[in-house]
Structure 1
Amino acid sequence: MNKFIDLHMHSLYSDDGEFSPSELVRKCKDKGIRIMAIADHNSVRGVHEAKEVAKTHGIQYITGIEIDCTYKAINLHILGYGIGTTGEDFTKIEENIMQQELKSSRKKLELTNQLGFNIYQEDLDKLSSNGIYTGEMFAEVLLNDVRYRENELLKPYRREGIRSDNPYVNFYWDYYAKDKPCYTEIIYPTLEETLGLIKKNGGVAVLAHPGQNLKGHYEVFDELVTKGIQGVEVFSNYHDEETIRFFLDKGKSSHLLITCGSDYHGKTKPAIELGETRCTINEYEIEQQLKQIGLIEKC
């Protein structure tokens, strides 16, 4: 059965995204996706462009954002669907995080070079449009630097290496995520603040890829339900069959919206394709839920 829903992808308004909102819409059209949402990291700057282009291609577009937040020292990603974007709430979140990221980028450069590298800032500036350097950018610079072709730290990320499926993002997870050697702290809003913000702006709050962010802490899921999450991204590229079954059962028993998303970024995650959500149920069930709560029109 052809897949036609993808509610999680990133444009160039995410620091680790590659394509413009318009390009993503056209790619969705080519893939046969007819219900889509771009959920950029802490940003809604691409919403207007995507909505307008989606109309011309007959695609039902759901306004979205992916907000970084914390709960009990766990970093979570909350997807906000159907949000209003005319106010300043989301702009303020983006600006706050951006200012922190600019400062931490210089620290990342220092920490990365302490691993035995000698990266130049100008090489990173070729990849960054705003002075923010992501772990994926460091990976791209290092893996394309002839000086480090035989570097032992980089071998797992090269062709046929054990981390070569998505080398850039895997390098990020191994070196820049929390508790890793090049981690730099960013103060994100709390879960409660994030849920309140999404609700205030008329949206639906969905927990993104829980198998990834709740790894080792699945017992916390029930607490998140009591806190007010309204949906769960059961179907994700990061979830194996066992994880899907667990969160599908949890989502249904808690009467939550069940969603699916590829988390497509482009070159940052080359193993992930648009529409590749690992959805194991009939997507018409998800479409019906989206209609029932007003995220898409009833036809």
Structure 2
Amino acid sequence: MYVKGDFHIHSTESDGELNPEEIILLAKERNVDIIALTDHNTVAGNEQAIELGQIHGVKVIPGIELSTRFNGVKVHILGYFTDDSYKSHEFKITLNNIKEKRFINCGKYFKGKLLFSSEGRKITTRAGIEFLHYYNAKVILAHPTLLTREVFRSLMNLEFDGIEAKYIRNKEGDTEYFINVSKEKGIIYTAGSDFHFIRRLDLKHGTLGEIYLDKDEIKDFLSILV
């Protein structure tokens, strides 16, 4: 049984400071026995992290943090993959087309209704959820505390599988509020440090394992990944 889980971590594959191996070793050192690697708009580090995690006794959930737009507002969504679909050529090609704004090419492998905002030519949150669901990921709203309550409530009308209720920048009462919303909607909640840096001061993000799910919460989270 896993006892401590941090499900929002960045590596050198996006804008983090540590490579996947260093992240695994740091998690081991801090008694974090289950993590998710959620680099921005890429899954490049997941296979290495999973392999190294098996060696060092740290379970790795393959993940991603996708940048989207909701009525002009920046919204990040976390995807946790339930199988190996993220390894497929089709997924990687479509993800790259989204990153490069080649939206007309996305329909080759993804048959959903990809919708894009007119502001900044970014994938909409609804389309991002649909895209990740199509490739067998469970989708979580990242750091809702950074959004206004009005935007958050509107986002809750979308097909999210969960909320990142425990987050390093939560204000007083936020964690309880988001947990209650998740229970009311019958979806799960997660925890994430949003780890980026360890060797220099980082006022925007937490350090690995600082925010976490305990063993009972981890059990609930894992129940949706089967």
Query: 1:86 maps to which residue?
Result: 87
**Alpha-carbon separation, structure 2, partners of 1:62 and 1:71:** 27
**Alpha-carbon separation, structure 2, partners of 1:207 and 1:248:** 12
TM-score, structure 1 normalization: 0.62
Calculate the aligned-residue CA RMSD, in Å: 2.2
Query: 2:111 maps to which residue?
Result: none
The structure in which a higher percent of residues are helix is: 1
1:90, CA displacement in angstroms?
Answer: 4.1
| 1:238 match: secondary structure | coil
| 2:32 match: secondary structure | coil
Q: Relative to structure 1, is the Cα distance of residues 39 and 99 closer, same or farther in structure 2, using a 3 angstrom cutoff?
A: same
**Contact 2:101-2:121 at 8 Å conserved across structures:** no
**Contact 1:264-1:273 at 8 Å conserved across structures:** yes
TM-score, structure 2 normalization: 0.81
**Structure with max Cα Rg:** 1
1:255 to 169, 186, 190: 186
1:233 to 164, 172, 197: 164
1:294, CA displacement in angstroms?
Answer: 2.9
Query: 1:167 maps to which residue?
Result: none
Q: Relative to structure 1, is the Cα distance of residues 18 and 91 closer, same or farther in structure 2, using a 3 angstrom cutoff?
A: farther
1:284, CA displacement in angstroms?
Answer: 2.1
1:95, CA displacement in angstroms?
Answer: 5.6
**Contact 2:189-2:221 at 8 Å conserved across structures:** no
The structure in which a higher percent of residues are strand is: 2
Alignment of 1:20-169 (within 5 A): 20-82=19-81, 84-87=85-88, 88-94=90-96, 96-97=98-99
1:211, CA displacement in angstroms?
Answer: 0.5
1:259, CA displacement in angstroms?
Answer: 0.2
Residue ranges of structure 1 left out of the alignment (5+ in a row):
101-184
Query: 2:202 maps to which residue?
Result: 270
Given the alignment of the two structures, is residue 190 of structure 1 paired with residue 124 of structure 2, yes or no?
yes
Residue ranges of structure 2 left out of the alignment (5+ in a row):
103-118
How many residues align? The count is 202
Residue deviations 1:149-188 (CA, integer Å, cap 9, x gap): xxxxxxxxxxxxxxxxxxxxxxxxxxxxxxxxxxxx7432
